[in-house]
Amino acid sequence: MLGGLLKRLLGSSEPKAPKEETVIAYKEFEIIPSPRNVNGQWQIAGRIEKEGPDGVRLVHQFIRADTLPSEKDAIENMVRKAKLVIDQQGSSLFN
């Protein structure tokens, strides 16, 4: 018990494997949430991607000032906001 508490407080010496990216298909776009932990809160962040002309991958970085208490909430809000941006701007998002 005390060992577990010390590990949480001091951090584990074992390297953490990178998280697998979640990709949400929406219309002809892909939404990839990647929330950031900022001072114990989760900032809404991620990417909106699309296959462009000549096979060029188009990428729009998506970062908002909003912070939420859980990573799950930040992911859900990022996906919701990304869908709104896609609906409002479509492919002009990459111009």
Name the pTM for this structure.
Answer: 0.77
- Rounded CA gap, 69 and 18, in Å? 21
pLDDT the model gives residue 19: 62
At residue 15, does pLDDT exceed 50? no
* Residues ≥6 apart with Cβ < 8 Å to 32: 21, 22, 23, 24, 46, 47, 48, 49
Give the residue-averaged pLDDT of 72-91: 96
Query: What is the three-state SS of 40-94?
Result: CEEEEEEEEEEECHHHCEEEEEEEEEEEECCHHHHHHHHHHHHHHHHHHHHHHHH
| pLDDT score of 17 more than 80 | no
Q: How confident is the model at residue 53 (pLDDT cuts 50, 70, 90)?
A: confident
Q: What domains appear along the chain, each with residue ranges and CATH number?
A: 21-94 (3.30.160.350)
